[in-house]
Structure 1
Amino acid sequence: MTFSIVGRDPLTGDLGVAVASKFLAVGALVPFVRAGVGAVATQSYVNPTYGPEGLRLLASGRAPQEIAATFRAQDAGFEQRQFGLVAADGRAVTHTGQQCHAWAGGLTREDVAIQGNILTGPEVVDAMLAAWEDAQGQPLPRRLLAALRAGDAAGGDRRGRQSAALLCAGPGRGYAGLSDDWVNLRADDHTDPCAELERLLDLHDLLFGRPQTTRPLTPDELDWLRALLVRGGYAGTLAGGSWNAETEAAAWALYGTENLEERWVPGGEVDPAALAYLREKFGS
């Protein structure tokens, strides 16, 4: 009833899972990720203990194949289960039990495990692998989502669509660089959940991405920003001329309201992505 991809970025060490299903809130049960340790997708009569237990065993030094053998030995329902697991060093394993509903199967390569059940056919996982390989070099969330969308376009869950999720972690990737938890997005009940997930990722990248480039505000842009700040109630009046402390305080308050703190640049500089967002929202 689910198709998923578990992947690792070999350049950055980032780890993540993308999953979609005709199932309510699939992101609540399937994906588990821990930076520097590994990532797990557990599905098909899902055993949610596979996630935390798989990560615990990876952290203790167990290899993915050993973990699969442990699950087999300890779980009487193992042949109903399906899971994929990728370690922090790129070793991967996928399992499809003999009692999973057709079509069911998966494949692995270094850094990736892809699996699904109740699919339209093997073309779903084949399309996911091709998209994963074609997206090499993209940030991990984008690469995982490209694979998920390819699987969806190839037929996906043969019962239909309902939910999708994307969970990624990497060293210092979290908000303000204070945690490893990076992307945690879910479309819990949606007619086109993979497309909704892409919209949410675009918004996530805007609001929580950090400036790639900065530049000084032009005089016209500074005039526009000051007018916006006064109109929005962030300042009573603002003197013209060069950037000053009053303008900076009002602009910082605006950025806080719009959740753009990660894109804030002080001293009259600007992140072009943040400026484009403000101009689109408030008019140029």
Structure 2
Amino acid sequence: MTFTIVARDPKTGQLGIALTTSPMAVGGRCPNIRSNMAAVSTQAATNPALGPLALELLGMGFTPQKVLQELAGADDQYAWRQIGIVDREGRSAVHTGIQCKGHADAITGEGYLVMGNYLASAEVVPSMDLAWRNSEGEPLENRMMAALVAGRDAGGDIGGHRSSCMLVHDLGPHPRTDLRIDFAPKREGAPDAVDSLKDLLQHYQPVSEYYQTLPRNPTLPNWMKWLEERGTPHRD
């Protein structure tokens, strides 16, 4: 019911996850990141406990592939899960259980993976992979967003796209980007959660620089004035 990209930016060390699905509020269940360690996303018949457990094992020095093997012993319904891991070394690994519904697929590469289940087309995951590789050099958020759009345009989730999220950590203790579309109603002519996330990201990215600067310079003007001084429009 979900398609996802998990990735690491080799230049910045940032770790990120972006995904979309047909049920609501996916951002509270699936993505897990620990700065400068790894990114883990869990989906299909999601067991939210597996993400934090995977990060604990990675913190003990386990490789992504070894973590997936350990999770199999901790979850008696593991055949229903799809889990992807990318660590700070760029190693990637995916588990796709045999009980995942519909068409389920995954592609792993150096520093990234794309995966999905209950997909409308066999082209969804390859299209995401191509979009990621074709956007090399762009910011991590933009590359992941391009992958989501490509997956949606190739057919996406059979059930539609009612929620989405994007989570990015740099080397600091808190997220650089943490955006969620918790519910985009499936209505004729209305934007889905992929388009809504893309729009939100476009408005957020200029403000992100402000948030990164403010802790070091608390005398900055408020964010709206700060954007106006730079000639950047903001959403009222």
Q: TM-score, normalised by structure 2?
A: 0.88
Write the letter of the residue equivalent to 1:183.
T
Report the number of matched residues.
223
Task: Please give the root-mean-square deviation of Cα atoms over the aligned residues, in Å.
Answer: 2.1
**How far is the alpha carbon of 1:277 from its aligned partner?**
2.9
Aligned equivalents of 1:259 and 1:207: distance in 2?
11
Write the letter of the residue equivalent to 1:89.
E
Give the 5 Å matches for 1:215-226.
none
* 8 Å CA contact retained: 2:90, 2:110: yes
Q: Secondary structure at the match of 1:277?
A: coil
* 8 Å CA contact retained: 2:176, 2:208: no
Cα gap change, 1:75/1:131 in structure 2, threshold over 3 Å: closer, same or farther?
same
Aligned equivalents of 1:259 and 1:82: distance in 2?
44
Give the 5 Å matches for 1:124-135.
124-135=124-135
Aligned equivalents of 1:183 and 1:7: distance in 2?
14
Q: Secondary structure at the match of 2:84?
A: strand
**How far is the alpha carbon of 1:201 from its aligned partner?**
1.1
Computing the radius of gyration from Cα coordinates, the structure with the larger value is 1
For structure 2, the residue ranges without an aligned partner over 5 or more in a row are 185-190, 211-218
Q: Which residue of 1 aligns with 2:224?
A: 258
* 8 Å CA contact retained: 1:206, 1:274: no
Aligned equivalents of 1:63 and 1:259: distance in 2?
46
Give the 5 Å matches for 1:118-197.
118-172=118-172, 179-190=173-184, 191-197=191-197
Higher relative CO (Cα under 8 Å, sequence separation at least 6) belongs to 2
Post-superposition Cα deviations, 1:81-103, rounded to whole Å, max 9, x if no partner, equal: 00111011000001110011011
Q: Secondary structure at the match of 1:104?
A: strand
Cα gap change, 1:159/1:209 in structure 2, threshold over 3 Å: closer, same or farther?
same
* 8 Å CA contact retained: 1:5, 1:112: yes
Write the letter of the residue equivalent to 2:160.
G
Write the letter of the residue equivalent to 1:275.
R
Q: Which residue of 2 aligns with 1:221?
A: none
Aligned equivalents of 1:169 and 1:80: distance in 2?
28
Q: Secondary structure at the match of 2:199?
A: helix
Aligned equivalents of 1:195 and 1:73: distance in 2?
38
Cα gap change, 1:90/1:281 in structure 2, threshold over 3 Å: closer, same or farther?
closer
Q: Which residue of 2 aligns with 1:266?
A: none
* 8 Å CA contact retained: 1:39, 1:85: yes
Aligned equivalents of 1:70 and 1:281: distance in 2?
46
**How far is the alpha carbon of 1:197 from its aligned partner?**
0.8
Write the letter of the residue equivalent to 1:21.
T
Choose between structure 1 and 2: higher helix proportion. Answer: 1
Post-superposition Cα deviations, 1:198-232, rounded to whole Å, max 9, x if no partner, equal: 1111121121225xxxxxxxxxxxxxxxxxxxxxx
Q: Secondary structure at the match of 1:165?
A: strand
Percent of matched pairs sharing the same residue: 36
Aligned equivalents of 1:257 and 1:90: distance in 2?
35
Q: Secondary structure at the match of 2:222?
A: helix
**How far is the alpha carbon of 1:6 from its aligned partner?**
0.5
Aligned equivalents of 1:104 and 1:281: distance in 2?
38
* 8 Å CA contact retained: 2:207, 2:223: no
**How far is the alpha carbon of 1:180 from its aligned partner?**
3.8
Choose between structure 1 and 2: higher strand proportion. Answer: 2
Q: Which runs of 4+ in 1 moved over 3 A?
A: none
